[in-house]
Amino acid sequence: MQSFDVVVVGAGAAGLFCAGVAGQRGLKVLVVDHSDKVAEKVRISGGGRANFTNRDIDIRQPHKHFVGENPNFCRSALSRYTPADFIALVQKHGIPFHEKHKGQLFCDRSAGDLIDMLLAECAAGGVTRWQPCGVKDLRAMADGGYELDTAQATVQTRKVVIATGGLSIPAIGATDFGFRVAKQFGLRTVEPRPGLVPLTFDGAGWAPYAGLAGLSLPVIIETGAKKDRVAFHEDLLFTHRGLSGPAVLQISSYWRPGTPIRINLAPEVDLPAALADAKLRSRKLLANELAQWVPSRLAEAWVEQDKEWQRPVAECSDKALARLAERLARWELVPTGTEGYKKAEVTLGGVDTRDLSQQTMESKQPGLYFIGEVVDVTGWLGGYNFQWAWASAHACAMAL
């Protein structure tokens, strides 16, 4: 039987990074993954260029960019391994990158550069990697160690790191393995659900907008009330089944089924004033006037909903214009659901942080660690989830 100091289950961003750091600190590390491909989620992220971190993470209060039952949990790891630390590693490997906007950093060439870097870090630490190699059984031994029955062999180890990710994008190998392990050892989990996911709508209420697929515009989107209100200023995209784009992906992590979202479709314009002014000076149809501030297809779809809007702006009543301005600035609608895990970029929920150490990522089951997306910590869109992968992996590796 082969033995290792550490077995990392999962060859994604968090698993490979943790293995590389631990190996370079002198530990004998094995990485196992049921897929024959390595870091597939890294490869497809950011349009194939991997939005690998975000410069704007406030290291004094990093938790404000994260969702979970206890967002404060991630503060310790994120403040000890920062975006600047990961950027230094990327630069050491000579990987060219650029900032897109809002602090989002992408590889210039492709996400493959980042995967090569993770594999090089593992090689520098003498890490052994078995792929494709599933884990059939994991047992705690009387002496405090573990045995894993894998497709390749049974191995013994003192420490096991679960880095198997969430349930999102099953087409590239996502499974519930991490949740099953947590359950096996009596750890609590927070019910998983799709995050950073398009929202769907159907029925008569959606009919006027069904033909707008492909249309994109900047909006302010919000959900929740009073102290639970969350808002983002991002781009919205109409799809065949509903709404997507960065604005909707962001809000989806906070939206609760059965509750409304509210969208300001013309956030840069004082619509009541602009429409009142147009009424005084313009002979154009209201839809044509409106097309100055929102895409013309959207303007057309909007005015078709009310007879009083289907006329020259000069002939519209003040009441009708005020109603239009109010509706456009506060479009309230209740999604019927989401596109689910097949389109979700991340999984909300996961292993309950109450059962993990925020310093080391070790669970209440001694010698069993959980890192990355399998934990109930979910970042905003824009590189935050990768930074959590690097930071949680680093905290774990340092503790191993």
* pLDDT value of position 169: 92
pLDDT tens digits, one per residue of 322-363: 999 999 999 999 999 999 999 999 999 999 999 999 999 999
Stretch 141-164: mean pLDDT: 97
Question: Alpha-carbon distance 125 to 5, whole Å?
Answer: 13
Q: What is the dihedral of CA 55, 76, 386, 52, to 10 degrees?
A: 30
Q: Is the pLDDT of residue 215 over 80?
A: yes
Q: Could you tell me which residues are beta bridge partners of residue 99?
A: 105
Q: Is the pLDDT of residue 63 over 90?
A: no
* pLDDT value of position 62: 79
Top pLDDT among 113 and 226 is at 113
Share of residues in the chain with pLDDT > 90 (%): 94
Q: Is the pLDDT of residue 59 over 80?
A: no
* pLDDT value of position 84: 96
Share of residues in the chain with pLDDT > 70 (%): 100
Q: Is the pLDDT of residue 376 over 80?
A: yes
Stretch 391-398: mean pLDDT: 98
* Residue 181: Cβ-neighbour burial (10 angstroms; 0-12, 13-18, 19+): buried
* pLDDT value of position 39: 96
| Average pLDDT value over all residues in the chain | 96
SS3 31: strand
Stretch 233-239: mean pLDDT: 97
* pLDDT value of position 60: 81
Site of tokens 């989002």: 104
Stretch 253-263: mean pLDDT: 96
Q: How many residues does the chain have?
A: 400
Q: Angle, to 10 degrees, between the axis of helix 112-124 and the axis of helix 83-92? A: 90
Stretch 68-95: mean pLDDT: 96
Nearest 5°: the CA angle 276, 280, 285 is 80
